[in-house]
Chain A
Amino acid sequence: MRVTIRVNGDVEEHEVEPRLLLVHYLRDVVGLTGTNIGCDTSSCGACTVLVAGESVKSCTMLAAQADGTDITTIEGLASGDQMHPVQEAFREHHALQCGYCTPGMVMAAVSLIAENGELDEAQVREGLEGNLCRCTGYHNIVQAVLAASRVPSTSAS
Chain B
Amino acid sequence: MIPAAFEYSRATTLDEAIGLLSDGGEDAKLLAGGHSLLPLMKLRLAAPTLLVDIGRLADLSYIRENGDRISVGALTRHRDVETSDVLRTHAPLLAHVAGQVGDPQVRHRGTIGGSIAHGDPASDLPAACLALGATFTVVGPRGERQIAASDFFRGFLETALEPDEVLTEIGVEKTTGAGWSFQKFNRRAQDWAIVGVAAVGGSRPGVALVNMGPTPLRAGAVEQALADGASAPEAASHASDGLDPPEDLNASAEYRRHLAQVLVRRALEEAGAA
Contact = CB atoms under 8 A, between A and B. Distances in A.
A19 B5 contact: yes
Contact of B38 (A17, A54, A62): A62
Interface residues of A, number: 32
Given A41-B39, A60-B109, A130 B104 contact: yes
Nearest to A44: B190
B38 A56 contact: no
B104 A18 contact: no
Interface residues of B, number: 29
Nearest to B2: A19
A71 B196 CA distance: 36
Contact of A18 (B6, B105, B190): B6
Nearest to A112: B104
B236 to A, nearest CB: 28
B31 A65 contact: yes
Interface in B1-26: 1-8, 10
Interface of A: 1, 17-19, 21, 24, 40-43, 45, 48, 51, 54-57, 59-62, 64-65, 67, 108, 111-112, 126-127, 129-131
23 contacts: A1-B8, A17-B5, A19-B4, A40-B1, A41-B1, A41-B42, A42-B102, A42-B105, A45-B105, A60-B35, A60-B38, A60-B106, A61-B34, A61-B109, A64-B8, A65-B34, A67-B10, A108-B105, A127-B104, A129-B103, A130-B102, A130-B103, A130-B106
Given A18-B8, A24-B2, 4 more contacts: A18-B51, A55-B105, A60-B39, A64-B53
